[in-house]
């Protein structure tokens, strides 16, 4: 059996109607990931209606219709391959739970494609999504300047939009000169898989080449050990077995570990993955492990396991940078929503609103604002209502992000800048 290719999660971001769904459809179609029987079925229908040359559009429309009618089809998995990687397309920001899933690690994106329609250029959500990507720790971007067909494949217009997008990327902290910009038409397929003869002035990579050139995310093995606990089981003959995914660091059999905030500690007796005992666990491994002397009541979901000599930080207070995504009215000091960070869900109070930032530039707009509303970015001081592990993103990015939820919605996304420990 051939070795499995490395896997990347890909987010597709950008303003509404700029062509994100069409782009995903085009990727799947060009990568050969739409099942042939579905293509055949729609091609046949298109032919019967005399619309053969629009086979792709036909496939897209038909898939959309099926989606709308709630029919589950293979494409829903949204998996496609390039030569080097296999990709899963994760939901995009407008969708329910996207931010929460990214933060809790359920669908952390390794890279994002930002779709900007050439006729419109940069719009409100283009900026919001760039800021959000940064907050969520997506380090690799590809920019698709889409709908080039609707801009006469004009080089001048392309360059204008590239200029606009570069300005914003730079302000938010991305390096535009390290990011590929590609003129495409998702609809007609220009420069997605096949190099377009309509953009002779462009000699950069096609979309598939740019995806294939992404860097494989590094395994953070050299950071301190952190394993957020998803659950803890009692197994007869073994004892208490916490389960979770190693976020950072390496845990070996015999290591002395501690569970925070509770503080129970002991020596690792065994580590198990896929029902087999393993000598050590590395980032990305989903494991169950057994620690000498740890009982059922010493460990629970939301705890974090680390080495005794470098334990997870428990915050009495912490300072966070947040971006408010949606809120029906205004957020003021005293607001106490639920924070989701790694596997923990804990009510926390915003005890102080320190600074309001310009979400487009990150610059300070106002000191000590009285309230925050949707679209605002801010630095705030936060007090958990009970002990909680959170770490500065600068030190351990995987343990430094949080989503703020209330009323069944994700109100804000944020990252921890500093921690005042108990
Ligand atoms: P989303 O809201 O970003 O997912 O955008 P959609 O994929 O739903 O596309 C919005 C509209 O733009 C639809 O009518 C698409 O057919 C159209 N569209 C998408 N890509 C292209 C393109 O490359 N060229 C042209 N002319 N129209 C496109």
Protein residue closest via CA to atom 19 of ligand 1: 19
Binned at pLDDT 50, 70 and 90, residue 177 comes out as: very high
pLDDT attached to residue 202: 98
Q: Which two tokens stand for residue 307?
A: 């080495």
**Alpha carbon distance 67, 98 (integer Å):** 19
ipTM of the complex: 0.99
Protein residue closest via CA to atom 15 of ligand 1: 19
Distances (CA, A) of 93 to 237, 244, 278: 45, 26, 37
Higher pLDDT pick, 108 / 310: 310
CA dihedral 317→318→324→328, nearest 10 degrees, is 0
Atom in ligand 1 nearest the alpha carbon of residue 184: 23
The interaxial angle of helices 36-48 and 55-68, nearest 10 deg, is 110
Binding residues are 14-21, 91-95, 146-149
Residues contacting residue 336 through CB under 8 Å, at least 6 positions apart: 347, 348, 349, 350, 385
Least trusted range by pLDDT, from 62-71, 104-113, 325-334, 377-386? 62-71
Q: Mean per-residue pLDDT for 11-38?
A: 84
Q: What separation in Å is there between the alpha carbon of 151 and the centre of ligand 1?
A: 13
Atom in ligand 1 nearest the alpha carbon of residue 190: 23
- Using alpha carbons, select from 32, 181, 36, 178 the residue that is nearest to residue 115: 181
Binned at pLDDT 50, 70 and 90, residue 1 comes out as: very low
**β-pairing, 251-252 with 344-357?**
unpaired
Q: What separation in Å is there between the alpha carbon of 117 and the centre of ligand 1?
A: 8
pLDDT attached to residue 185: 96
Atom in ligand 1 nearest the alpha carbon of residue 186: 23
What DSSP string describes 188-228?
TTBTTTBPPTT-TT--S--HHHHHHTSPPPPP-TTSPPBEE
Domains, the chain, in order of start with CATH, read 5-211 (3.40.50.300), 224-305 (2.40.30.10), 312-419 (2.40.30.10)
pLDDT at 73 over 50: no
**Alpha carbon distance 195, 173 (integer Å):** 30
**Alpha carbon distance 346, 334 (integer Å):** 15
pLDDT attached to residue 105: 64
CB 117 within 8 A of CB 147: yes
**Alpha carbon distance 315, 317 (integer Å):** 5
Ligand 1 pocket: which of 12, 17, 19, 151 to mutate (most atoms within 8 A of CB)? 19
222-267 tens-digit pLDDT: 999 999 999 999 888 888 999 999 999 999 999 999 999 999 999 9
Binding residues for Mg(2+) are 21
Q: What separation in Å is there between the alpha carbon of 104 and the centre of ligand 1?
A: 31
**Alpha carbon distance 281, 260 (integer Å):** 19
Atom in ligand 1 nearest the alpha carbon of residue 57: 16
Least trusted range by pLDDT, from 54-68, 140-154, 276-290, 335-349? 54-68
Q: What separation in Å is there between the alpha carbon of 294 and the centre of ligand 1?
A: 55
Binned at pLDDT 50, 70 and 90, residue 345 comes out as: very high
Q: SS3 breakdown of the chain: % helix, strand, coil, rounded to 5? A: 25, 35, 40
Ligand 1 pocket: which of 11, 16, 17 to mutate (most atoms within 8 A of CB)? 17
pTM check: above 0.90: no
Protein residue closest via CA to atom 27 of ligand 1: 147
**Ligand 1 binding residues, C-beta < 6 A:** 14, 16-22, 146-147, 149-150, 185-187
Protein residue closest via CA to atom 10 of ligand 1: 17
pLDDT attached to residue 74: 40
């Amino acid at each position: 059996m051939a070795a499995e290719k490395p896997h990347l999660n890909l987010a597709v971001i950008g303003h509404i109607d700029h062509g994100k769904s069409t782009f995903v459809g085009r990727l799947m179609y060009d990568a050969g990931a739409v099942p042939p029987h579905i293509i055949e079925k729609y091609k046949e229908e298109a032919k019967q209606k005399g619309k053969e040359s629009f086979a792709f559009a036909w496939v897209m429309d038909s898939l959309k219709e099926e989606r709308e009618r709630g029919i589950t089809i293979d494409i829903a998995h949204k998996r496609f391959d390039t030569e080097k990687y296999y990709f899963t397309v994760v939901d995009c920001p407008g969708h329910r739970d996207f931010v929460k899933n990214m933060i809790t690690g359920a669908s952390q994106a390794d890279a994002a494609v930002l779709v900007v329609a050439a006729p419109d250029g940069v719009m409100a959500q283009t900026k919001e999504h760039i800021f959000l990507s940064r907050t969520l720790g997506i380090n690799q971007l590809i920019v698709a300047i889409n709908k080039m067909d609707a801009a006469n494949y004009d080089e001048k217009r392309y360059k204008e939009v590239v200029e606009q997008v570069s300005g914003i990327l730079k302000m938010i902290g991305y390096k535009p000169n390290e990011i590929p910009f590609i003129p495409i038409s998702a609809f007609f397929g220009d420069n997605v898989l096949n190099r377009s003869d309509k953009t002779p002035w462009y000699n950069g990579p096609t979309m598939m080449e740019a995806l294939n050139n992404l860097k494989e995310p590094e395994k953070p093995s050299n950071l301190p050990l952190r394993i957020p606990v998803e659950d803890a089981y009692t197994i007869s003959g073994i004892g208490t077995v916490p389960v979770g995914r190693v976020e950072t660091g390496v845990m070996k059999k015999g290591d002395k570990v501690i569970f925070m905030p509770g503080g129970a500690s002991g020596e690792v007796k065994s580590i198990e993955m896929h029902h087999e005992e393993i000598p050590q666990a590395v980032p990305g491994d989903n494991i169950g492990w057994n620690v000498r002397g740890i009982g059922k009541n010493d460990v629970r979901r939301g705890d974090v396991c680390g080495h005794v000599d470098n334990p997870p930080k428990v915050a009495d207070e912490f300072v966070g940078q947040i971006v408010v995504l949606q809120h029906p009215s205004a957020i003021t000091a005293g607001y106490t929503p639920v924070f989701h960070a790694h596997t923990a869900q804990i009510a926390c109070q915003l005890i102080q609103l320190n600074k309001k930032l310009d979400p487009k530039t990150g610059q300070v707009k106002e000191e000590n604002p009285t309230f925050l509303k949707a679209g605002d970015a801010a630095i705030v001081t936060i007090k958990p209502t009970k002990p909680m592990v959170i770490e500065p993103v600068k030190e351990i990015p995987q343990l430094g992000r949080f989503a703020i939820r209330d009323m069944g919605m994700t109100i804000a996304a944020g990252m921890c800048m500093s921690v005042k420990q108990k």
